[in-house]
Chains A and B, each alone.
Chain A
Amino acid sequence: MHHRSALTGLGLALVALLTPGCFLSRNSVNVPLHAEKLAQLTPGVSTQAEVLASLGAPIDVVQLGFRTAWRYDYTVEKRAGLTLFVITLINTDVQQDRLWLFFDEKGVLAAAGSTIDADKAVYELPWTNEHAQK
């Protein structure tokens, strides 16, 4: 009887010690890109002024001679971790919504490329690797 209560106490103590060692965190940078706004952009028609009015200021501008490329992005980072006394295990997944707009010499949209992946960021156990490069 005495041993059983001691084991129960030990088990509770272990759970109490280990539980605070688990953590999840989520960080994001910038604001999400909305597909409906991206669909309104038309190569050969949309101008820089219209893009600015719709999406706001870009994150980055690359000068390509007289032409330019504008970048918009939204990043989500999800992190899962576990600390067991002196050992910490962490798994971080970072995904992004990204849009590049290429303008011609007259400031008219020539080409656009978008990737909407930010919502694909996942919490993964620290020892798993579901999405490593293949």
Chain B
Amino acid sequence: MKPRLVPAVALAAALFTAPACVRLRFEQTNLQRPLPRATQELVAPGMSLAECLELLGAPNVVWEQPDGRLALAYAWSHSFGWGFAASVDVTRNANASFDFDDLSEDVYGLALFFDRDWTLVESQRGRLRELTALRARRRPNIFFPGASPTPPPQ
């Protein structure tokens, strides 16, 4: 091989083999669309659960609070970033279920809190993990055939 061809061949070899061992990755993920701000602002204490559902659609998360109260949340997420090497995940998994026990930092949302009669008492916006941090965790759903429903907390 002619000496002047050696650098070119080496460069070509590097370009062909590099993707197998080095990878630079940019990834962005949108999980659902944010609720329009104008729609969020229509939510007001005193509204019924049915009115809130009619206005906002189906929530992403529903959970029980003490004394038979109810909470639900609408969530959305946009994450992006660079990663180096194949083993680095730069965004959260594309899981649209927004598991109550596994809310990541970049999940934003609107949380609604209802009383025992399912009338809206309070609404909050922000990072959903913070909004739900001090709230009651959802009880596990365990059903036994023929058993009566779980009694409400005293």
Contact = CB atoms under 8 A, between A and B. Distances in A.
Nearest to B138: A62
Interface of A: 43, 60-66, 68-69, 71, 73, 75, 77, 83, 85-96, 98-100, 102, 105, 110-115, 117, 120, 126-127, 129, 131-134
B17 to A, nearest CB: 10
7 contacts: A60-B141, A66-B150, A73-B97, A85-B15, A113-B52, A134-B34, A134-B37
Interface in B12-27: 15, 18-19, 22-27
Q: Could you tell me the dominant secondary structure of chain B's interface residues?
A: mixed
Nearest to A81: B27
A117 B32 contact: yes
B103 interface: no
Q: Could you tell me the dominant secondary structure of chain A's interface residues?
A: strand
Contact of A113 (B26, B59, B70, B80): B59
Nearest to B109: A133
